[in-house]
């Protein structure tokens, strides 16, 4: 009978929209860092902690208004108590556990094992109760019993609650927790040193009437302040044996401090990239609107910088760490994640309907662009998507994936052919770009004063005369483009040369045009 009631209550709660809404709201407010109202809750709790500690300090030597004492002892403590109970409530879903066990037993056609369920629920809740943050929360409530003056000291535990609300403190703790083994080893080493030195100094000094170290506690105190290189000077050994122990422990203390410093530094170094990534994700989630570029390469770089030049924000998603580092080095906001994965967008907290102006798919494969498009369409039906098409036979696949605009590189070449047809150098450029030789590139070379002076002379060399095509010069002073320029054109620093050729030939040309100046 009891089992039937419990199962019935579990199903009722699980199906109740009001109950589910309240529990989800409480969970978001307490535990979900992405919930927009959580920061207001955290700020409020931090303010209460600050008020509580201030009253404690003020009360040491001054009278405090009874209203403030009532606010501190009852109101703040009651708020913390409610918070503790809410965290206890949202820590696990009991109704879900009961229903799952009931359906499992029903499927196996065996009696419902109520006690097993209750045991699992009890153990789960106890794991919360005995967790360090929950213990701190509980101790912070102790001042609620203000009649016991000793418990007022527990107000200081409210300061530790700041770890729950300050993200930077949480990151600091997580960084140190990654070095638990090293810190434990250091702690054991320091403890052994303290115990041994305490016993030694006690044995050496305790029977000397001139020595200030007369008890074992004073010996431990002296060892601690000495090994951590504090040395107040209130307790000093007076015997030769005691001073010998002091010299040894000072050397050991330097080793302890050095070891501790290296642990902290190495932990921060290892987590530095992760911290930067988290910071960048937070920054991206705060962007109002931006263009999302999936995949990073030369084309993505040009597109991103063009948007930035127009004052638009751009976010680049790339799966390759090296390319992400290259993009960040170019001053772009780039994140290491798979653009074709739903998990990536959930982790980044991107709202496609309000934040993303358009998604531009520039992966090096049509298949990757199709997968990315399907993923983004799963998240938003409205966001505009543009993709590059590398192979004509994949056009229909990209179209079916929901891409609004498809750009085929060969079509662009056709448009350019129409624009420049009839000009002397056009056919050579078009032939080079349309050929199957994928090593042919169009490159912009920004000319400085050295390169401008030697540009035409270098281009006449036999190495480049027939193999490197000079498409044109863009004059910065007149903001005009000179197609197939003649030798009489005056080139100035800041002008941009457009050349077509293999990458190695272009690099050789750039190197040689600078080298000739030094001759």
Run means of pLDDT, 10 residues per run, the chain, 519 residues: 82 87 91 83 88 82 83 85 91 87 81 84 91 83 59 67 72 79 88 91 88 90 88 86 89 87 83 76 81 88 86 88 86 87 82 87 88 89 88 85 82 57 52 56 78 81 75 80 79 82 79 64
3-state SS of the chain: helix, strand, coil percent to 5? 65, 10, 25
| Greatest alpha-carbon span in the chain | 110
518 HSE (CA, 13 A, CB side): 4
- The pLDDT, as a whole number, for residue 431 is 57
CATH of domain 434-514: 3.30.70.1450
The runs of H, that is alpha helices, within 16-161 are 17-31, 38-61, 66-70, 77-90, 94-107, 114-129, 132-141, 157-160
- The pLDDT, as a whole number, for residue 146 is 52
The runs of H, that is alpha helices, within 380-477 are 395-400, 409-420, 426-434, 449-459, 462-465
- The pLDDT, as a whole number, for residue 149 is 54
3-state SS, residue 274 = helix
CATH 3.30.70.1450 segments of the chain: 434-514
Q: How far apart, in whole angstroms, are the C-alpha atoms of residue 110 and residue 97?
A: 17
Report the predicted TM-score, pTM, of the whole model to 2 decimal places. Answer: 0.55
CATH of domain 287-411: 3.40.50.720
CATH 3.40.50.720 segments of the chain: 287-411
CATH of domain 170-267: 1.10.287.70
CATH 1.10.287.70 segments of the chain: 170-267
- Enumerate the β-bridge partners of residue 317: 294, 335
Write down how long the chain is: 519
Residue ranges with strand state E in 229-301: 290-294
- Enumerate the β-bridge partners of residue 406: 387
Q: Which of 331, 257, 258 is nearest to 296 (CA)?
A: 331
The runs of H, that is alpha helices, within 333-365 are 342-348
């Amino acid at each position: 009978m009891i089992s039937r009631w419990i199962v019935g209550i579990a199903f009722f709660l699980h199906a109740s929209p009001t109950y589910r809404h309240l529990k989800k709201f409480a969970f978001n407010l307490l535990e979900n860092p992405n919930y927009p109202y959580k920061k207001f809750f955290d700020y409020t709790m931090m303010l209460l902690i600050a008020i509580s500690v201030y009253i404690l300090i003020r009360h040491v030597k001054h009278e405090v208004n009874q209203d403030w004492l009532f606010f501190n002892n009852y109101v703040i403590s009651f708020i913390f108590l409610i918070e503790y109970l809410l965290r206890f409530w949202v820590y696990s879903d009991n109704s879900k556990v009961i229903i799952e066990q009931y359906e499992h037993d029903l499927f196996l056609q065996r009696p419902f094992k109520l006690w097993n369920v209750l045991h699992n629920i009890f153990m789960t809740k106890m794991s919360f109760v005995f967790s360090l943050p929950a213990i701190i929360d509980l101790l912070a409530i102790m001042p609620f019993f203000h009649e016991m003056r000793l418990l007022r000291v527990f107000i200081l535990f409210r300061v530790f609650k700041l770890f729950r609300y300050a993200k930077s403190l949480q990151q600091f703790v997580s960084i140190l927790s990654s070095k638990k083994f090293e810190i434990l080893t250091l702690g054991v080493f320091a403890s052994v040193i303290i115990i041994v030195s305490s016993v030694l100094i006690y044995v050496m000094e305790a029977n000397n009437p001139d020595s200030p170290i007369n008890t074992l506690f004073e010996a431990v105190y002296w060892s601690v302040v000495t090994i951590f290189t504090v040395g107040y000077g209130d307790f000093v050994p007076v015997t030769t044996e005691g001073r010998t122990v002091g010299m040894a422990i000072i050397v050991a203390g330097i080793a302890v401090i050095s070891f501790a410093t290296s642990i902290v530094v190495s932990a921060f170094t290892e987590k530095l990239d992760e911290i930067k990534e988290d910071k960048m994700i937070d920054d991206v989630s705060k962007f109002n609107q931006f263009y999302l570029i999936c995949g990073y390469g030369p084309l993505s770089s040009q597109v991103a910088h063009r948007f930035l030049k127009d004052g638009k924000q751009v976010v680049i998603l790339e799966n390759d760490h090296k390319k992400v580092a290259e993009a960040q080095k170019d001053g772009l906001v780039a994140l290491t994640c798979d653009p074709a994965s739903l998990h990536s967008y959930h982790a980044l907290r991107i709202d496609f309907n309000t934040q993303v102006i358009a998604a531009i798919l520039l992966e090096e494969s049509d298949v990757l662009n199709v997968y990315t498009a399907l993923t983004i369409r799963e998240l938003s039906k409205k966001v505009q998507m543009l993709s590059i098409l590398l192979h004509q036979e994949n056009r229909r696949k990209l179209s079916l994936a929901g891409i609004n605009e498809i750009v085929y590189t060969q079509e662009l070449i056709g448009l350019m052919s129409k624009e420049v047809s009839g000009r002397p150098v056009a056919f050579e450029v078009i032939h080079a770009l349309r050929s199957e030789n994928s090593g042919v590139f169009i490159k912009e070379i920004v000319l400085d004063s050295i390169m401008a002076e030697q540009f035409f002379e270098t281009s006449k060399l036999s190495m480049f005369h027939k193999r490197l095509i000079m498409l044109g010069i863009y004059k910065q002073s007149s903001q005009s483009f000179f197609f197939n320029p003649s030798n009489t054109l005056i080139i100035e620093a800041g002008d941009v040369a457009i050349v077509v050729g293999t990458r190695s030939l272009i690099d050789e040309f750039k190197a040689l045009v600078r080298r000739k100046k030094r001759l």
